[in-house]
């Protein structure tokens, strides 16, 4: 198909029947469901599909590597509750996108990875086709659902299944396999029109059972030291007002997980973030709202959770999440908006948390906040993580609409703790896997979806995973400022090769790398800063300009720790040589 033929591709056959084809119906199915943006990378067999998408008014954002296109789609899905769309070529393109699909599924973000695929007859007999791969079966273990559309008549239904699977219940990644032949198939246009439809109520409300609501309220009534824990499921649910009402009407202190920061502003008086260890250890009843008791919460047991047994209430849409690690006293299964609304009806009967509990938390918060303020106020030279993050905290406070993307080890851990968020769904980070490489993909997805300035705070190692997408940022002239915390290596830049050989140590990079020059190669603005004052000036200017920029922030290469706050997860053995 050539460029000029798109508009006229409704061809006529001998009987003058208008025909349409798979290319058009795929685009029609996306449009019918308001899926207006494709993040992808072209090649056989999807190049014409992507061209057609653009010709038909969809936005096509082309990437340099499929993993980042997939990450952009995933974060778009998280922000909108509509599946983000990623489109790739077969075998290698599909596999590059698969990491993002798996990551989306693990994080409960809705997305659809659509990949073209080669001739099934040849693939199934392993006869050596171009980019041969059994993609459907390769995808299955790593996503929520995987489908292939074999016949043009099924395109409408195929998309409906993919959309529903992605967004209903616990959201996740869906793989949709489109064989090259499908795109070329034709059918009468009038019949085709009837086969495409808008999915009705793709995210149905799931109302919790009354007895489960009563059980949850009973646990709260019996609690002396209650705590609410907000996870990214709570942010995703877009029940912001209900959640705020529940917290404020109950008076219960709350802790946001990383991506739930900003659901209520981090300076809210009931936030217990500055007393995190204290409240986790001391609370006697904990209500989880869209948060799993996985490694990020020490599996709900052990030292983190203190000596005395806790009663957990768990609000989640996924029934078998309950009891994953410890017994849940009151499971509340349904969508968060509905569950919280039901709880609100009975919340006035729940006694307010005791004055002692609130006073103990306030005392701890005040002490920890004062300690942190002291650390942040120190003018370290060379600049360290704290000096740089103090500035980022202040700039974000002045620009609360900014999307903040964050990855790295120390860069992630300190930024999460230091930089306050003021609005929901503004913080996007390494999430459930602690994955590196989401930086530019999430930043592009967030900037394209919201149209708002986006700041990516990146460890230098973390940035390297997706750094080539700076060209994408510049090509689409996106309002993204990337701040690279450059300390010359993975974690730190100080390791030495114990043999004295020419190779540097496994964690070490080129010293004083000029990441700021990379963006200049594509027409963006590069800044090189070595002090908090320079960082503040550069970041303020870059956000106001709303244009692609990269700030190379030189950080003391001795600052930080191995694996950030996860040092203890590195295996060690008594047999290791000292
Ligand atoms: P965090 O990492 O912030 O602790 P998790 O990703 O572990 O959060 O947990 C998110 C949880 O939220 C998942 O168990 C998921 O099933 C749940 N969830 C997602 N969306 C909804 C929703 N709309 N209603 C109820 N639960 C939801
Ligand atoms: C896909 C392992 C965890 S954190 C990290 C790596 C490589 C980089 C830390 O260095 P950085 O940060 O970014 O310079 P900082 O602030 O400490 O200086 N591959 C993948 N995911 C993970 N998590 C890793 C490797 C890792």
Please report the atom of ligand 1 found closest to the CA of residue 229: 4
Output the CA 436–ligand 2 centroid distance in Å: 6
To test the pocket of ligand 1, the residue of 263, 292, 315, 416 to mutate (highest count of ligand atoms within 8 Å of its CB) is 292
For the chain, the helix, strand and coil percentages under 3-state DSSP, each to the nearest 5: 45, 15, 35
Two tokens, residue 456: 């990516």
Instruction: Return the pLDDT at 569.
Output: 86
Which tokens belong to 576?
Answer: 């290791």
Structural domains of the chain, with CATH: 19-195 (3.40.50.970), 210-361 (3.40.50.1220), 378-554 (3.40.50.970)
pLDDT of residue 392: 98
Q: Which residues pair with 480 in a beta bridge?
A: 454
Query: If we measure between CA atoms, which residue out of 67, 77, 71, 99 comes closest to residue 33?
Result: 77
Query: CA separation (Å) from 105 to 6, 63, 182, 312, 318?
Result: 35, 21, 27, 25, 13
Q: Is 462 in the pocket of ligand 2 (CB under 6 A)?
A: yes
User: Pick from 102, 110, 98: which is nearest to 199 by CA?
Assistant: 110
Q: Is the CB of 408 under 6 A from ligand 2?
A: yes
Q: Tell me, in angstroms, the distance from the centre of ligand 2 to residue 339's CA.
A: 37
pLDDT of residue 1: 43
The SS3 call for residue 145 is: strand
439 lines ligand 2 (CB under 6 A): no
CB of 74 closer than 8 Å to CB of 173: yes
Closest Cα to atom 17 of ligand 2: 491
Spatial contact of 316 and 333, defined as CB atoms under 8 Å apart: yes
**383 Cβ inside 6 Å of ligand 2:** no
CA of 63 to the centre of ligand 2 (A): 22
pLDDT of res. 14: 53
The DSSP output letter for 162 is: H
Q: Mean pLDDT for each consecutive 10-residue tract of the chain (578 residues)?
A: 42 71 98 98 98 98 99 99 98 98 99 96 94 97 98 98 98 98 98 98 98 98 98 98 98 98 98 98 98 98 95 98 98 98 98 98 98 94 97 98 98 98 98 98 99 98 98 99 98 95 97 98 98 98 98 96 84 70
For residue 564, give every residue at least 6 positions away whose Cβ sits within 8 Å of its Cβ, in sequence order, or none: 408, 409, 410, 411, 412, 413, 414, 491
Q: Which ligand is nearest to the CA of 341?
A: 1
* Residue owning tokens 């047991």: 301
SS3 state of residue 339: helix
Q: Exposed e or buried b for every residue in 434-467, given b needs 16+ CB within 10 A?
A: bbbbbbbbbbbbbbbbbeebbbbbbbbbbbbbbb
How many angstroms separate the Cα of 318 from the Cα of each of 78, 80, 112, 126, 235? 17, 20, 20, 39, 16
Q: What is the dihedral of CA 408, 410, 414, 416, to 10 degrees?
A: 30
Distance in Å, CA 70 to ligand 1 centroid: 20
Ligand 1 atom nearest residue 257's Cα: 3
**525-529 and 480-486 as β-strands: parallel, antiparallel, unpaired?**
unpaired
- E strand segments, 226-317: 226-230, 254-256, 285-289, 311-316
Q: Whose CA is nearest to atom 3 of ligand 2?
A: 409
**Which of 67, 44, 48 is CA-nearest to residue 9?**
48
Ligand 2 near 254 CB (within 6 A): no
For residue 330, say if its preceding peptide bond is cis, omega within 30 degrees of 0: no
Helix (H) or strand (E) holding 31: helix 22-32
How many CA atoms are closer than 13 Å to the CA of 447, on its beta-carbon side? 26
Instruction: Please check whether residue 524 is in contact with residue 480, taking contact to mean a CB–CB distance below 8 angstroms.
Output: no
What is the torsional sign of CA 248, 245, 172, 41? negative
Of 315, 258, 325, nearest to 287 (Cα)?
A: 315
Q: Is 434's C-beta closer than 6 angstroms to any atom of ligand 2?
A: yes
Q: What pLDDT sits at residue 324?
A: 98
Which ligand sits closest to the CA of 100?
2
Q: Which atom of ligand 1 is nearest to the CA of 432?
A: 2
- Pick the atom of ligand 1 nearest to 203's CA: 23
Report the pLDDT value the prediction gives residue 459, as an integer from 0 to 100: 98
For ligand 2, whether the C-beta of 409 sits within 6 Å is yes
CA distance 495 to 488: 10
How far is the C-alpha of 176 from the C-alpha of 567, rounded, in Å?
A: 39
Do the Cβ atoms of 120 and 179 come closer than 8 Å?
Answer: yes
CA 194 to chain centroid, in Å, comes to 36
Using CA of residue 131, residue 156, residue 146, residue 238, what is the dihedral sign? positive
Q: What is the pLDDT of residue 7?
A: 40
Residue nearest to atom 18 of ligand 2 (CA): 491
Q: Which residues contact 541 (CB under 8 A, 6 or more apart)?
A: none
Cβ of 464 less than 6 Å from ligand 2: no
Q: Which two tokens stand for residue 478?
A: 């996106």
Q: How far is the CA of 407 from the centre of ligand 1 (A)?
A: 20
Q: What is the pLDDT of residue 574?
A: 76
């Amino acid at each position: 198909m050539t460029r000029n033929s798109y508009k006229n591709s409704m061809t006529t056959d001998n009987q003058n029947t208008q025909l349409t084809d798979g290319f058009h119906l795929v685009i029609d199915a996306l449009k019918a469901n308001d899926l207006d943006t494709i993040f992808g990378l072209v090649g056989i067999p999807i190049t014409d599909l992507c061209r057609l998408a653009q010709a038909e008014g969809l936005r096509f954002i082309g990437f340099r590597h499929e993993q980042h296109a997939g990450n952009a789609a995933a974060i778009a899905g998280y922000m909108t509750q509509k599946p983000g769309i990623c489109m790739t070529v077969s075998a290698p393109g599909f596999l590059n996108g698969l990491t993002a699909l798996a990551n989306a599924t693990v994080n409960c973000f809705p997305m659809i990875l659509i990949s073209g695929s080669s001739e099934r007859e040849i693939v199934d007999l392993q006869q050596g086709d171009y980019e041969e791969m059994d993609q459907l079966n390769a995808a299955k273990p790593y996503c929520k659902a995987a489908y292939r559309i074999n016949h043009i008549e099924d395109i409408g239904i195929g998309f409906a299944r993919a959309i529903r699977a992605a967004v209903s219940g616990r959201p996740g990644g869906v793989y949709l396999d489109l064989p090259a032949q499908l795109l070329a198939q034709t059918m009468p246009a009038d019949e085709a029109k009837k086969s495409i439809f808008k999915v009705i109520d793709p995210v149905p409300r799931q109302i919790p059972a009354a007895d489960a609501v009563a059980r949850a309220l009973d646990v709260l009534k019996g609690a002396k030291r209650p705590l609410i824990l907000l996870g990214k499921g709570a942010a995703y649910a877009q029940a912001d007002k209900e959640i705020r009402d529940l917290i404020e009407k109950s008076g219960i202190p709350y802790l946001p997980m990383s991506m739930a920061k900003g659901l209520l502003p981090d300076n809210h008086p009931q936030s217990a973030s500055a007393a995190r260890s204290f409240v986790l250890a001391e609370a006697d009843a904990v209500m989880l709202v869209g948060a799993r008791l996985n490694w990020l919460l020490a599996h709900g047991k052990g030292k983190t959770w203190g000596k005395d047994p806790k009663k957990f209430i768990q609000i989640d849409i996924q029934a078998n999440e309950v009891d994953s690690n410890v017994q849940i006293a009151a499971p509340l299964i349904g969508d968060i908006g509905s569950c919280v609304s039901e709880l609100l009806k009975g919340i006035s009967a729940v006694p307010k948390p005791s004055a002692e509990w609130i006073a103990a938390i306030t005392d701890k918060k005040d002490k920890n906040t004062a300690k942190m303020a002291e650390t942040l106020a120190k003018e370290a030279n060379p600049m360290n993580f704290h000096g740089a993050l103090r500035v980022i905290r202040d700039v974000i406070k002045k620009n609360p609409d900014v999307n903040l993307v964050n990855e790295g080890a120390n860069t992630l851990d300190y930024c999460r703790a230091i930089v306050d968020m003021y609005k929901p769904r503004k913080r996007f980070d390494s999430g459930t896997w602690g994955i590196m490489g989401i930086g530019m993909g999430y930043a592009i997805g967030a900037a394209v979806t919201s149209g708002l300035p986006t700041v990516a705070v990146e460890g230098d190692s973390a940035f390297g995973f997706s750094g080539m997408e700076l060209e994408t940022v510049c090509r689409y002239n996106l309002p993204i400022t990337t701040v690279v915390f450059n300390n010359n290596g993975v974690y730190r830049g100080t390791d030495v090769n114990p043999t004295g050989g020419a190779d540097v140590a496994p964690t070490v990079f080129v010293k004083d790398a000029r990441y700021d020059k990379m963006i200049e190669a594509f027409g963006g603005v590069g800044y090189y800063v070595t002090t908090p004052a320079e960082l503040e000036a550069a970041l303020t200017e870059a956000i106001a300009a709303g244009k692609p920029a990269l700030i190379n922030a030189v950080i003391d290469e001795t600052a930080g720790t191995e694996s950030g706050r996860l040092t203890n997860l590195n295996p060690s053995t008594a047999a290791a040589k000292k």
